[in-house]
Amino acid sequence: MKREKKTLGLVAAAFFLAAGACTEPALAYFTTHVSAAGGHELELDFTTTVPKEEVSQWVKYLEIENTGNEDCYVRVKAFAGEGIGLQWTADGNWSKGPEDYWYLRTPLSPGSTAGGISVKIDKGAAKDDFNVIVVQECAPVSYGADGKPLGFEETDWSQRAEVKTDSAGAENRGDEG
Amino acid sequence: MKRKKNRNRTFLLFAASAVLLMMSTVGSTRAALTYRSENYEMKFDVSSIGVTLLENGTAVSRRDYVDDQWQEESGALLTNLLEEGESLMPGRSYEERLSVQNSGSIDSYVRVTLYRGWTKDGKSMDTELSPKLIGLDLSSGDWIEDVSAATSERTVLYYRNILKSGQETPPLCTALRIDPAVARKVSETHTETAEGTVVSTRFAYDGFQFQVKAEVDAVQTHNAEEAIKSAWGVDAEIAEDGTLRLTSQGQ
């Protein structure tokens, strides 16, 4: 009886050995991986321009200075009461365009001043005081895919900042996308 | 009589297992001898997988298995994006050609996972600013996007073909462009003081750094479907010509 048990034990051991030897090796695959990352900081500044006017002989001589840190395009326009005539004189750097504005044809770089434009006022029959108001706007230069600045005709003057405010004092950074 | 029969059966079983054991041993010995012989005479290295990430044709990072050890080089992306003193212009398209080279000695399948996002400290990504404003011109054709794995921050691309040893893929990305909309997002903070309300205005994205990360994975072409499933966790079908197809999306 004892001998039979011993034999059976040997048989079982032999089977285990055989099964172990025949088992497929653990599956492993050749793989590799590599990675790299990088980035740059974005520096954004508000574009600001300051108009300067000089009046002489019923003519307003205009100058606009870029006091910001980015190139921008500029456009100017004047308003006056009924019966007041306005006659513009501008050099080749300016073009008359949509919405009765005069558009600077080339970007105005930071610290630069654009002149060469004036408006002559014809008071006509007006006897009382009157105002002639000059309005100027600026828009940051947009860049095309080639990195070159887009022309003044392509400037989107309807752009508005998407402002999010938080009266509680907490900061809100606007919508995504 | 019955006892004798049992004993015979036991011997038979013993003999059968002994034969099995011998056969398996013989097989292993033969394989080992063959392997050693080839290794000795040809320096046959079957496990030399390797992959290199290229940016604008220049190797940035690589990881190759050479001489029984991993050789790694790790670099950074976008280091040559701007000239000295140049500022990044939103709207401008910058050349950013990313491709993969098989720098190993065996063919492989590769995939690239691209991450993009905004960070203030260079470590943790901001969760409020939009990764969509970091535009990457991705190539199609030879690269398949796994749309099921895509998020606003992550894009996973699989190279459709076998990447043979020494070969380079066509670019998976050709250009980078920051959407000019970043200059329209302004945040205001209103703070109540004794003198009144102080309104602070600033660009939402000013001072933030955009980050792009590329992770490249390579896997053997032998037994590819199982290897891809095991290594990457995706179901893929390999056509007879070696073309990879993601079964999850029929691509």
Q: pLDDT by residue (tens digit) across A107-161? A: 999 899 999 999 999 987 777 788 899 999 998 888 887 778 889 999 888 878 7
Q: Which amino acid is at B197?
A: T
Q: Is residue A61 part of a domain?
A: yes
Number of domains in chain B: 2
In this predicted structure, what is the pLDDT of residue B153? 96
- Measured in whole angstroms, the distance separating CA A50 from the mean position of its chain's CA atoms is 21
Tell whether B112 is within 8 A of chain A (Cβ).
no
The CA distance from B178 to B93, in Å, is 8
Per-residue pLDDT tens digits for B171-223: 999 999 999 889 888 888 888 888 777 777 788 898 899 999 999 999 999 99
Q: Is residue B226 part of a domain?
A: no
To the nearest whole Å, the CA of B86 is away from the closest chain A CA by 11
**Residue B40 and residue B141 in one domain:** no
**Residue B24 and residue B69 in one domain:** no
The CA distance from B114 to B243, in Å, is 22
Beta strands in B85-184 (DSSP E): 93-101, 108-119, 134-138, 143-145, 154-159, 173-178
CB-based contact B163:B109 (threshold 8 Å): yes
Per-residue pLDDT tens digits for A66-121: 998 888 999 999 999 888 999 999 999 999 999 999 999 999 998 999 999 999 99
Question: What is the residue whose two structure tokens read 């794995």?
Answer: B149
Number of domains in chain A: 1
In chain B, residues with a C-beta closer than 8 Å to the C-beta of A27 are 226, 230
Residue B251, classed as helix, strand or coil, is coil
Q: Which region among B14-18, B68-72, B182-186 has the lowest average model confidence (pLDDT)?
A: B14-18
pLDDT band at A166 (very low <50, low <70, confident <90, very high): low
Q: Is residue B240 part of a domain?
A: no
- Measured in whole angstroms, the distance separating CA B185 from the mean position of its chain's CA atoms is 34
- Domain range for B75 is 50-221
pTM of the complete model: 0.71
Q: Is residue B231 part of a domain?
A: no
In this predicted structure, what is the pLDDT of residue A15? 63
**Residue B211 and residue B146 in one domain:** yes
**Residue B40 and residue B56 in one domain:** no
Q: Is residue A168 part of a domain?
A: no
Q: Is residue B104 part of a domain?
A: yes
Q: Is residue A58 part of a domain?
A: yes
**Residue B124 and residue B210 in one domain:** yes
Q: What is the CATH number of the domain that holds A106?
A: 2.60.40
User: What does the DSSP 8-state code read for residue B125?
Assistant: B
Q: Inform me whether the pLDDT recorded for B47 exceeds 50.
A: yes
Q: Is residue B238 part of a domain?
A: no
Q: What is the complex's ipTM, to 2 decimals? A: 0.77
pLDDT band at B30 (very low <50, low <70, confident <90, very high): very low
Q: Inform me whether the pLDDT recorded for A17 exceeds 70.
A: no
Q: Is residue A95 part of a domain?
A: yes
- Closest Cβ opposite residue A161 in set B184, B199, B215: B184
**Residue B167 and residue B213 in one domain:** yes
Q: Is residue A79 part of a domain?
A: yes
Q: Is residue B215 part of a domain?
A: yes
Q: Is residue A98 part of a domain?
A: yes
- Closest Cβ opposite residue B14 in set A10, A34, A160: A10
What is the residue-averaged pLDDT of chain B? Answer: 86
Rounded average pLDDT over A26-52 = 88
Q: Is residue B235 part of a domain?
A: no
What is the residue-averaged pLDDT of chain A? Answer: 83
**Residue B89 and residue B205 in one domain:** yes
Q: Is residue B54 part of a domain?
A: yes
Q: Distance of CA A45 to CAs A50, A78, A157, Å?
A: 16, 28, 18
Residue A11, classed as helix, strand or coil, is helix
**Residue B37 and residue B79 in one domain:** no
- Closest Cβ opposite residue B92 in set A7, A34, A147: A147
Q: Which residue of A has its CA nearest to B75?
A: A36
Q: Which region among B68-72, B87-91, B208-212 has the lowest average model confidence (pLDDT)?
A: B87-91
Q: Is residue A157 part of a domain?
A: no
**Residue B87 and residue B17 in one domain:** no
CB-based contact B17:A11 (threshold 8 Å): yes
In this predicted structure, what is the pLDDT of residue A43? 86
pLDDT band at B251 (very low <50, low <70, confident <90, very high): low
Among A3, A40, A175, the residue to mutate for chain B (most B Cβ within 10 A): A40
Do residue A176 and residue B129 have CB atoms under 8 angstroms apart?
yes
